[in-house]
A and B are shown apart, each in its own frame.
Chain A
Amino acid sequence: MLARPQLASVTPPVDEKRESVSGNGGSDHQDTARRFRDAALPYLDDVYTLARYLLRNSADAEDAAQECYVRALRHFDSYHGPEMKPWLFAILRNVCRAEFARRSSAAVAAEEDAQADEETSPLWQEPPASPEAAMIRQWDAETIRRLVADLPITFREAIVLREVNELSYREIADTVGVPVGTVMSRLARARCMLRKAWIAEDGSRT
């Protein structure tokens, strides 16, 4: 169905499995650090952006981005692809998952319930598009960020990886660890939810 063949999803490195980077000391170590810096630091804004949308809090996002880079360096010796960006994102997701577990409040559970409902309800509930509905108002960045941030996390993540981090479906599938077909249906659903919120925003302002 999709243009790209579906590959096995990539398993992000297991956390806390320290490798012997520190053992060899000297120039190898420093050389690795330098190669890592060159390969990974250009994506800091991307990592930070995703962390901001996943955690919805700038201080937590900074901590998560830093932890992501520390873990990524630790596993850099065993890194053989996929592309750097999805690899870093997969690590970041692990870091964020730990943060969610720490927060593990009723709020998170409630969000997951809402998400399960959304996942099973058919897309067909959407009202037929009228010609006026095709007129999508241009909101400012702050408003759109808020609308995106209000989406349930699975769908928020899909939208951000695609529209903000500009990953392909294949790369999103690698990052999230689901088949490409799932990426596509999540995005379809995420955009329908976002559209609903987008249009409701119009009503709430007039």
Chain B
Amino acid sequence: MSCAQTQILLHALLDGELDAGHARDVEGHLRDCARCAGEFRVHRSMQEAIASAGLRFYAPLSLRRRIEKALPAPPQRSANRRAVLKGFAMGTALSTAMAASVVVGVIRSDEQDRVLGDVVSAHVRSLQGEHLTDVETTDQHTVKPWFNGKLDLAPPVVDLTAQGFTLIGGRLDYLDGRAVASIVYRRRKHVINLFVAPAADSQGQRTKLVSSQGYNICRWSAHGLDYYAVSDINADELREFVEKFEQAAA
């Protein structure tokens, strides 16, 4: 292999893009040619310097909000409810009371499925692209005031380090088209996102643990807020997290 070829191919080697045969050829040349080997080292150290510097940009929250707004709105719950009720009104034998309870059941489970999908998406998004936290600190007294003025709710932020769940920060996120708080905890190497949203309705929801797309999600309501804890830790640990959080927040 010539120097001229190597000058190009060493980049493919650097990027792990060569098949085994060509990689062997290039490496063979680099062993024999000090000049090409020097080139390779320079480019490798530059690549490492770039990787460790972190050159990504992060989309401002205002942009995320603008794009969310530009996408078609999620289904209107009031419209759905009316449409289904009209169906019942047109000559069914069911009593109104029964119809109402069925309808409420249908709509609630629909909405919750969608929100659970959103919860998982938001969790996955937070793990990609190193944008896990907007405010990074283990101090609960820093995280809580950080949310002030950014949201129309005051999420309880508690430190659970002593209970085995380390507080690592907070983040603004979106669920179901609304801005919500995410409080971020770590259990060993696993991240737990705890989303806090204004309660969808006054009844609140009972604590329920479900699993979706390989993640465990626990949702519950307290004091006019809906909570969603999501993580890849196992269901027992997530339940433990929720218990510890509830005890500490109470």
* C-alpha spacing A139/B73, complex, angstroms: 44
List chain B residues, Cβ under 8 A from A61: 57
* C-alpha spacing A168/B12, complex, angstroms: 10
The minimal Cβ–Cβ distance linking B88 to chain A, given in whole angstroms, is 19
* C-alpha spacing A139/B114, complex, angstroms: 45
Number of A-B contacts (CB under 8 A): 154
* C-alpha spacing A181/B106, complex, angstroms: 55
The minimal Cβ–Cβ distance linking B54 to chain A, given in whole angstroms, is 5
Contact B17 A44 (CB under 8 A): no
List chain A residues, Cβ under 8 A from B59: 44-45, 47-48, 62, 65
Contact A2 B17 (CB under 8 A): yes
Binds A, one of B43-51, B141-149, B214-222, B237-245: B43-51
Dominant SS among interface residues on chain A: helix
Contact A187 B38 (CB under 8 A): no
Contact A2 B49 (CB under 8 A): no
Dominant SS among interface residues on chain B: helix
Judged by a CB distance under 8 angstroms, whether B4 is at the interface is: yes
Q: Please, which residue of chain A has its CB at the minimum distance from the CB of B80?
A: A27
Contact B8 A184 (CB under 8 A): yes
Interface band, chain B: 35 or more
Judged by a CB distance under 8 angstroms, whether B66 is at the interface is: yes
Given known A1-B22, A3-B19, contact A145–B55 (CB-CB < 8 A): yes
Contact B58 A138 (CB under 8 A): no
A interface list, Cβ under 8 A from B: 1-4, 27, 29-30, 33-34, 36-38, 41-42, 44-49, 52, 61-62, 65-66, 69-70, 73, 123-124, 126, 128-131, 133-141, 144-145, 148, 160, 162-164, 168-169, 184-185, 187-188, 191, 194-195, 198
B interface list, Cβ under 8 A from A: 4, 7-12, 15, 17-19, 22, 35, 38-39, 41-43, 45-47, 49-60, 62-64, 66-68, 70-75, 114, 117, 121, 124-125, 128-129, 131
15 pairs, CB–CB < 8 Å, chain A vs chain B: A1-B22, A2-B22, A33-B74, A42-B124, A42-B129, A44-B59, A46-B129, A69-B67, A123-B8, A128-B38, A141-B55, A169-B15, A195-B42, A195-B43, A198-B46
